Structure 1
């Protein structure tokens, strides 16, 4: 499936295409629980780079196995070690 986002929409976000693609990958990872590997691939980043971007936003990097499942935006030390 291909999704086309009109240039006016991209411009309205104030982000370039690459950053918007990263933001969409993070949303899919955080809210729809796709794997970090799939999200990294979608964002055209290495897995390490994607995990670093996730950590910058204080999103739990290992949401599925995190012991602190109170919030999808919780970044516990156990999850961010080694990112």
Structure 2
């Protein structure tokens, strides 16, 4: 299944498509709905770069074997 977000919503958010994907991925990771690797994939990033982004935002990593 694929989620499609109309361009008007992306424009209204003030984010680029890539920035919005990152924001959604960070939010889902922070709420413990996605693992680190799945959130990174949603953001279109390598998981190490996603970890750096989380660190920059001072978001704690949840260590659990299922996250990696």
**TM-score where L is the length of structure 1:** 0.70
Cα root mean square deviation, aligned: 1.3
Which 4+ runs in 1 deviate beyond 4 A?
A: none
> Which residue is equivalent to 2:49?
49
Paired residues in the alignment total 64
Which is higher, the Rg of structure 1 or of structure 2?
1
Q: Shift in Å at residue 64 of structure 1?
A: 4.3
Aligned mates of 1:29, 1:37 — CA distance in 2: 9
1:55-70 correspondence to structure 2 within 5 Å: 55-61=55-61, 63-64=62-63
**TM-score where L is the length of structure 2:** 0.84
Q: Larger helix proportion, structure 1 or 2?
A: 2
* Structure with the larger RCO, 1 or 2 (CA within 8 Å, 6+ apart): 2
> Which residue is equivalent to 1:8?
8
- Tell me if 1:37 matches 2:56: no
| SS in structure 2 at match of 1:32 | coil
Q: Deviations over 1:12-37 (max 9, x none)?
A: 11100001001111111111331101
